[in-house]
Each structure stands twice: as C-alpha cells, then as structure tokens.
Amino acid sequence: MPEEANEAQRRQWNDEVRLSGWLHREPLTATVTPTLLHHAALKGGETVLDVGSGGGRSAIAAAGQVGPDGEAVGADISLPLVALARQRAAAGGVTNARFVVADVQTAVLEGAPFDVALSQFGVMFFDESVTAFANVRAHMRPGGRLAFVCWQSLADNPWFAGASLQPFCPPPPRPGPGKNAIGPFTFAAPEHTAGVLAGSGWSAIEVTPYRQTVTVEPDVLLDDDSYLRYLGVAHDDLAEARAACERHLAPLRRSDGRYDAPLAFQVFAARN
Ligand SMILES: C[S@@+](CC[C@H](N)C(=O)[O-])C[C@H]1O[C@@H](n2cnc3c(N)ncnc32)[C@H](O)[C@@H]1O
C-alpha cells in the first residue's frame, strides 16, 4: 500500500520529545518574524494562510496586521502545536486567527481564496514539495502573494549543533520513489527552491538573503539527552555526543555562558 503523504513527518511533529526539542528552539526562529512580515506587506482586511504555523506566533502577528476585517489561518500537521497556537491566540484575545490541523501538501483548507500565504520555516518538510506548493497556490486568489523564510546552507548556520551528531546517529532514510529529501536546509540553494516554486506554477519569484545574530540561552541550541536519544544517539554515546555539540558551538559561546547565534536565512517571495 502506498505510504500516506508526509507520514514520517506527521509522526515526528506529533511526538512529545520532538516537540519539546522544537519549542526550545522557537525563541531563535521567532526573531525573523518582522522580516517575514515586511516581505508579506500585509494590508488591513487581507486573508492570510500561515503554512506550518507551529505554535502560532507568526499567524497571530499576521492577524494583528490584517486587523479585524482580515483573518489569518494557521495550518499545521502537529495536533499539539495547533493546540498551543489556539491557546496563545485565546490568551492574547486574538479573535481573527484560527488554527487547523492539516497536511498542507494535500489538504483542502477552509477560508480560500487567500490573499497571502506565508511561512516561517514551515515549508521544508514536504515529501513532495512541488505538489505541496501547487496545493498552496490552489488556495490563493489570482495575483495572491507568497512569502516564506527558510535557512541558507548548513555551512552558513554554525549555530546548528545537529551537524556534529552525524557520527552518533543513523543516516536519514533515503526518499522513497517520487519523494524528495526534507529537512531544515532543503531549500538552501536558491536555484533549486526557485525551480520548485516555478514547477508548482508560482511566478515573479524573488529571493532576499539575510544575516542576523541573536543572543540565546544554551538550551536554545543544545539539545537535552532525551532529545539526543530521540535522534537515535545510543545511551552509551550520550556524553560524547553532547561534548561534540558543545565543541561545535564553542566559537559562538560568550563569557556569560550564552551564545551568539549567527542566523543565515532567506525570504522567497512569489505571486500566483
Ligand atoms: C520548524 S517548525 C516552524 C513552526 C512555526 N512556523 C514557527 O516558526 O515557529 C516547522 C513546522 O512545520 C509543520 N509541518 C511540517 N510538515 C507539515 C505539513 N506537511 N503540513 C503542515 N505543517 C507541516 C510542523 O508541524 C512544524 O510546526
């Protein structure tokens, strides 16, 4: 029987340990929201789809920009993250942001056609990227805008200590037939990403690179033992794996114990 789309990712983003690992990282990625919203150039009354909306912060910020006559819909494959996003919206008294559990690669989402689709690091996990971006486009009004943030290369993002875990973890599974590789750095090469967007029918594709250094607490970059175990590090290798991560991050460590993380990301913009 053919595998359901994004089955492995669905499992991962609904796994308790994976999620607690991700939520430690959130303060780092949240720093790019103003840059993303600058590119989205939202206007009052517009409708917005946030793809892979996670804990909902960018959708809630977008809802604030489109105002009471507009709406932001956050769609995410993770049930616990959608619950968190709903909780945050309610706590902030935000009534024009709504969150749904959905695989954006295949789902038919209520609220279409949208004026703008945006995403903050939520588009790199589709196992059929062209299909997914075509599905996003199918939810847009003619002339609708797309803006998303993704990472530049791993080499340009030395804050990612996961790079030093390679010797301790099983290799990632090869993509199955008709599927593409996924992961945080999948869209690093601008020509490749522009090709995916063009292949799914988007036009006027532009990319803008950014660099921004952000100071963070150690646990934002260093994963705890339960997360290392989740990644596949054997119990007996935990101390060594952790030490490898600390060595990797040592050049970024400040005298106060925090880290200066140099982020290299890029914003892709396109039109329907
Ligand atoms: C790196 S997190 C980013 C979350 C959020 N945008 C943020 O910046 O905090 C990636 C998000 O994409 C979601 N995701 C992965 N594959 C997805 C899919 N096929 N459809 C919808 N969401 C997906 C994950 O559940 C996760 O919340």
- For 105-142, the pLDDT digits (tens) are 999 999 999 999 999 999 999 999 999 999 999 999 99
Average pLDDT over residues 67-75: 98
Give per-residue pLDDT as tens, 94-115. Answer: 999 999 999 999 999 999 999 9
pLDDT at 67 > cutoff 90: yes
Element (H, E) at 267: strand 259-271
Residue type, 19: L
State yes or no: pLDDT of 30 exceeds 90: yes
Give the number of the atom of ligand 1 that is nearest the alpha carbon of residue 126.
Answer: 19
Indicate if the pLDDT at residue 152 is higher than 80.
yes
pLDDT for 1 beyond 50: no
Question: Whose C-alpha lies nearest to ligand 1, atom 20?
Answer: 103
Question: How far, in Å, from the CA of 50 to the mean position of ligand 1?
Answer: 10
Amino acid, single-letter form, for residue 78: S
Helices (H), the chain: 7-13, 16-29, 33-40, 57-66, 79-91, 129-138, 190-199, 218-221, 225-231, 238-249
pLDDT at 3 over 70: no
pLDDT band at 18 (very low <50, low <70, confident <90, very high): confident
Would you list the domain boundaries of the chain? 7-153+171-211+265-271
The pair of three-digit structure tokens given for residue 253, joined into one six-digit string: 């460590």
Mean pLDDT of 194-210: 98
Position with higher pLDDT, 4 vs 17 = 17
Closest ligand 1 atom number to CA of residue 33: 8
Rounded distance from Cα 74 to ligand 1 centre (Å) = 10
State in Å: Cα 87 to ligand 1 middle: 17
Residue list, ligand 1 pocket, CB within 6 Å = 6, 9, 13, 26, 29, 52-55, 57-58, 75-78, 81, 103-105, 120-122, 125-126
Please count the other Cβ atoms lying within 10 Å of the Cβ belonging to residue 168: 18
Q: Whose CA is nearest to atom 4 of ligand 1?
A: 54
Contact of 99 with 30, CB cutoff 8 Å:
no
Specify the pLDDT at position 21.
85
Task: Identify the residue whose C-alpha is closest to ligand 1 atom 13.
Answer: 52
Q: What is the mean pLDDT of the segment spanning 155-167?
A: 95
pTM given for the model: 0.96
Homologous superfamily, domain 7-153+171-211+265-271: Vaccinia Virus protein VP39 (3.40.50.150)
Looking at residue 3, the DSSP 8-state letter turns out to be P
> pLDDT tier at 173 (50, 70, 90 boundaries)?
confident
For residue 63, the CA-to-ligand 1 centroid distance in Å is 18
Between the CA of 254 and the centroid of ligand 1 the distance, in Å, is 31
Q: To test ligand 1's pocket by mutation, which of 53, 57, 148, 157 has the most ligand atoms within 8 angstroms of CB? A: 53
Give the residue-averaged pLDDT of 253-268: 98
Q: Distance from the CA of 256 to the center of ligand 1, in angstroms?
A: 32
pLDDT of 227 strictly over 90: yes
Q: Quote the percentage of the chain above a pLDDT of 70.
A: 99
- Say how many CA atoms lie within 13 Å of 110 toward its Cβ: 5
